[in-house]
Amino acid sequence: MALAAIFAVGCIASAAAQAPKLPAGFIHLRDADPTIIQDIRYAGSNNFVGRPLRGYEAAECVVKREVGVLLKSVQEELARQNLSLKMFDCYRPARAVADMVAWSRDGRETPAQKRYNPSFSKADLFRLGYIAERSGHSTGAALDVTLVDLKTDNSATFDPNKDYADCIANVNLRAPEGSVDMGTGYDCSDPKSHTSAKSITADQRRWRAKLVQVMARRGFVNYSKEWWHFSLPGAGGQAYVFPITSRK
């Protein structure tokens, strides 16, 4: 086991050397495991702000190297069950966090933005703990993730011109995410998104529990208010501002 882990770290380090320069200790997740699906929401318009956030110059998952090694291990376990991880967010530049703060205080909220916080104003997101002014994502040790059932049709894509229901509506009415139904959409600021929420179906609870368990076996800790958010204790440190750029 120890030799395998050392070999994995060595292979990842070699691959990362071919990618654009990142701060020491960071890698592009594709260099650790290219089979992990990525849908980096803040690099496009399919998010609660409705546009790319500052610092997201490419839709790439960047993480600390030890986080990448552990995610590769998770993916290998899931692959045997015809499942896959899907990354929604990984390293988040501190400038993107500042962008979120400014958005929350601009006094405007469109219907599309309201889909993500149907029960209260976006001005309350920080007070209620759904967004933090200092994010663990900016250390490279936190990530947002879900599960994909590879045996099902995941081809539906987000249409920015479509009027979707809010994030707590039935999965057939919400914006498509190409993943299992966790009971709410990603980035849904609502009590229904709390990992142990009772207001979801048995199947939705089962999927949430599976994600928490497979991540916990590698040391990742879930944030109780967001079923999708995990962090790796001890792997954090300082917050970074470098932009997310393409690997090539």
Q: What is the pLDDT of residues 101-148, one digit of tens each?
A: 899 888 888 888 899 999 888 888 878 878 777 888 999 999 999 999
Nearest to 68 by CA among 24, 28, 41: 28
End-to-end, the C-alpha distance of the chain in Å comes to 32
Banded pLDDT at 247 (limits 50, 70, 90): confident
How far apart are the C-alpha atoms of 162 and 175, rounded to whole Å?
Answer: 9
Query: pLDDT per residue over 189-236, tens digit each?
Result: 999 999 999 999 999 999 999 999 999 999 999 999 999 999 999 887
Q: In the predicted model, what is the mean pLDDT of residues 76-88?
A: 98
Amino acid at 245: T
In the chain, the domains with their CATH numbers are 2-231 (3.30.1380.10)
Burial class (CB in 10 A: 0-12, 13-18, 19+), 157: exposed
pTM here is 0.89
Helix (H) or strand (E) holding 155: none
94 close to 138: Cβ distance less than 8 angstroms: yes
Rounded to an integer, the average pLDDT of 144-159 is 96
Mean pLDDT of the chain: 91
